[in-house]
Amino acid sequence: MRGKAISMIGIAAVFGAISIFAADFWVKSQAKADSEEKTSSIPAPVVPKVEFKTIVVANAPLRYGMELDRAQLSEIPWSQESVPQGAFTTINALLADGSRVVLSPIEVNEPVLLAKLSGPNGRATLSNMMTPGMRAVTIRTDEIAGVGGFVTPG
């Protein structure tokens, strides 16, 4: 009886060892196959080509009524695909027709756009700030209404 038990334990140990080696071989072959699939299916990253133009931006804050000067402007590279409509590509093109006046505030490094400027040799007047179809009216008021905040410029 004792011999049968030892032989059964021996046979179980041999089959257990064989199954361990078979499982290890199978797991390693699956891991190798998965890594080959992942490396072969990932395409090389394509570096997008970005072409640049120059664009005119403000060096200092520009406020309503200020006349543009070369010292307040600079040209920086800008993606050609995202140049805003009405932007100027060079300072010479901006000031070629004559001096321009700022009609809307422009902050530092903000593109200088045609919509925020007067025409060549223009002035900062109320009519430049109005859209077509609007009218401007002056209202006479006293200090009390002005101090109360009921009437404000603009």
Please give the full DSSP string across 4-16, using - where no structure is assigned.
HHHHHHHHHHHHH
38 falls within a domain: yes
pLDDT in tens, the chain (154 residues): 688 888 899 999 999 999 999 999 999 988 887 776 665 566 778 887 888 889 999 999 998 888 888 888 999 999 888 888 989 889 988 888 888 888 888 999 999 998 888 777 776 666 666 778 888 777 777 766 666 666 666 5
Nearest to 99 by CA among 125, 126, 71, 70: 70
Tell me if 154 is assigned to some domain: no
Do 38 and 84 belong to one domain?
A: no
Query: How far apart (Å, rounded) are the C-alpha atoms in residues 154 and 137?
Result: 11
Residues 138 and 110 in one domain: yes
Q: What is residue 48's predicted lDDT score, i.e. its pLDDT?
A: 79
Q: Tell me if 77 sits within 8 A of 96, measured CB to CB.
A: no
C-alpha to C-alpha distance for 75 and 95, rounded to whole angstroms: 13
Same domain, 18 and 60: no
pLDDT computed for residue 25 by the predictor: 92
Amino acid at 132: P
The C-alpha atoms of residue 23 and residue 61 are separated, in whole angstroms, by 72
Domain-located, residue 79: yes
Query: Containing domain of residue 18, as a range?
Result: 1-43
Last residue of a domain, one of 25, 43, 61: 43
Q: Are residues 96 and 125 in the same domain?
A: yes
- Token match 């520009």: residue? 62
Q: Is residue 153 in some structural domain? A: no
The answer to whether the CB of 63 falls within 8 A of the CB of 110 is: no
* One-letter identity of residue 104: S
**What per-residue confidence (pLDDT) applies to 37?**
61
Number of domains observed in the structure of the chain = 2
- Judging by beta carbons within 10 Å of its beta carbon (0-12, 13-18, 19+), is residue 15 exposed, middle or buried? exposed
Find the radius of gyration of the CA atoms of the chain.
38
Task: Mark whether 93 and 31 lie in a shared domain.
Answer: no
**One domain, residues 86 and 111:** yes
Query: pTM for the whole thing?
Result: 0.53
82, two tokens: 């995202």
CATH of the domain at 127: 3.90.1210.10
